[in-house]
Structure 1
Amino acid sequence: MMEAAAGPVLEIDYSRTQLFPLHNAVAMRNFSEVQRLVDSGYNINEQHYDRVTPLHMACLTGDVEITQYLLQKGAWINAQSIDNSTPLCDACAGGSVECVKLLLNLGAAVNPPLLLSTPLHEAALRGVKVNAIKNHKTPLHYIAMNSKSIDAARVLLQYGADPYLRTNSGLTARQIAGQGSDMAILLAAFECTPQSLAHFCRLTIRRQLGPRRLKSLNRLEIPTILVHYLQ
């Protein structure tokens, strides 16, 4: 049982009691233990059985402090688990708007590509109907399926989320959300409203800069209003 917030922090030697100590510390939202493990040399991008990284878990729990720390230490922002879920997907599934904003500001892919790892997956993508094909869901799909967060959905759409993308079952996020739901209404309105040229210019510039350069926007000798526009 976890101690109350006002009580002492338990000192647990994760390396002796559990597999994947960093994953477990993140899952327990134990920031001091996460720092200790990283400082002691644990691989910040270690993958769990299903290729889940500590960053995936931090985003799913909605812990902004640990998420930011892992990113600062070099966590893979677009790491994909075995079902193609990225940290952004998990932040959306958990409904953490702050984690969603943090990831997008640092260049997380809003429409991550389908990751294919075997010839069988390649064959399935080209038309062979087999059950082995991996699930293809974008962060927008995860919001529609899980958290139903309207605020997080709006942020994704502002950063270029494609509402027309379909899962491997042929469903869009609007269809997953369910007819008449607030999420479906939001997505339908976005589909019917052409975006501005400034919107597409901003997204194009961000894509060209890439995640690494986006972290250094505040260091550029450009007007503050332009930094805010790109962020």
Structure 2
Amino acid sequence: MACLTGDQHITRFLLEHGAWVNAQSIDNSTPLCDACAGGSVDCVKLLLTSGALVNPPLLPATPLHEAALRGYTDIVALLVTAGADLNVNDLHYGTPLHAACSMQAPSADCIKFLLRAGASVNAIKNHKTPLHYIAMYSKSVEATQLLLAYGANAYMQDSHGCTARHLAGPSSAMAKVLAAHEKCPPSLTQCCRLAIRSQLGPARLQHITQLEAPSVLIGFLQ
């Protein structure tokens, strides 16, 4: 309860007096999950330094899912730096990127951070990709363009044979963006960028900045 309400002082007091940092509630939630859901950066930092598991086993949703679902980019960054699994599936949404894309008003900053960090842009949950989720829940043009820039496959179909454009509806701005994308295949330059990102793997945020390359190329890869 202290973590859920973001009370850093009570959280610290309880930990100093023997509270189990990885205890699971009846809802199979850990204090770190609750701190991420509550949006408390200070509580998240405190729990991580006190031994909280960033990838707790056998949970319906991980701490990263909780933060991504609510668009808490600062907390997402803390968890990724601490080794959070970017592409693990939960029981409800799918990957953390799926969760971030299921918001009615998705956070472009959070989605971009997950993509830059190595989240799989074409991950599947219940036959749907993150792009399908955007089409279903928000139809955000900004989020759509981000996903496409990081290699989202606009042609992928769900179990009913629907692409994201079909789910977005013919009159939506998102459908127009997707229709234009389908008519214009990615450039060779963009394909090369996506291939290099893929080769660098999930830790590419660190790897890209360490490349001995001009700053303009570093920025291009990011």
Q: TM-score range by the shorter chain?
A: 0.7 to 0.9
What's the counterpart of residue 101 of structure 2? 92
Moved over 3 A (4+): 12-19
Higher relative contact order (CA 8 A, sep 6+): 1
What's the counterpart of residue 11 of structure 1? 10
Could you tell me how far apart the structure 1 residues matched to 2:37 and 2:181 are?
A: 35
What's the counterpart of residue 31 of structure 1? 41
Q: Contact 1:144–1:176 at 8 Å: present in 2 too?
A: yes
The TM-score normalised by the length of structure 1 is: 0.81
Secondary structure of 1:160 counterpart: coil
RMSD: 2.3
- Partner amino acid for 1:175? H
Cα deviation code 1:11-56 (max 9, x no counterpart):
3458579442111111000111111111111110115642x11101
User: Structure 1 stretch 11-20 or stretch 67-76: which is displaced more?
Assistant: 11-20
The aligned runs of 1:75-86 (5 Å cut-off) are 75-83=84-92, 85-86=94-95
Cα deviation code 1:58-112 (max 9, x no counterpart):
1111111100000010001111113561111111122110011111111211111
Q: Contact 2:97–2:114 at 8 Å: present in 1 too?
A: yes
The aligned runs of 1:65-84 (5 Å cut-off) are 65-83=74-92
Q: CA separation of 1:183/1:153 partners in 2, compared to 1, >3 Å: closer, same or farther?
A: same
What's the counterpart of residue 180 of structure 2? 189
Q: CA separation of 1:17/1:195 partners in 2, compared to 1, >3 Å: closer, same or farther?
A: closer
What's the counterpart of residue 62 of structure 1? 71
Gaps of 5+ in 1: 3-7, 115-134
Secondary structure of 2:10 counterpart: coil
Which of residues 145, 149, 162 is equivalent to 1:158?
Answer: 149
What's the counterpart of residue 205 of structure 1? 196
- Partner amino acid for 1:43? L
Q: Contact 2:135–2:168 at 8 Å: present in 1 too?
A: yes
Query: How far off its partner does 1:213 sit?
Result: 3.8
Could you tell me how far apart the structure 2 residues matched to 1:48 and 1:66 are?
A: 21
Q: Contact 2:122–2:130 at 8 Å: present in 1 too?
A: yes
Q: Contact 1:145–1:177 at 8 Å: present in 2 too?
A: yes
Which of residues 79, 91, 112 is equivalent to 1:101?
Answer: 112
What's the counterpart of residue 121 of structure 2? 110
Q: Contact 2:93–2:99 at 8 Å: present in 1 too?
A: no
Gaps of 5+ in 2: none
Q: Contact 1:20–1:48 at 8 Å: present in 2 too?
A: no
Q: Contact 1:45–1:75 at 8 Å: present in 2 too?
A: yes
Overall identity of the aligned pairs, in %: 44
Q: 2:185 matched to 1:176?
A: no
Q: CA separation of 1:176/1:10 partners in 2, compared to 1, >3 Å: closer, same or farther?
A: farther
What's the counterpart of residue 224 of structure 1? 215
Q: 2:31 matched to 1:40?
A: no
Which of residues 132, 136, 143 is equivalent to 1:141?
Answer: 132
Could you tell me how far apart the structure 2 residues matched to 1:148 and 1:84 are?
A: 17
The TM-score normalised by the length of structure 2 is: 0.84
- The number of residue pairs the alignment matches comes to 205
Q: Contact 1:84–1:136 at 8 Å: present in 2 too?
A: no
Q: Contact 1:84–1:137 at 8 Å: present in 2 too?
A: no
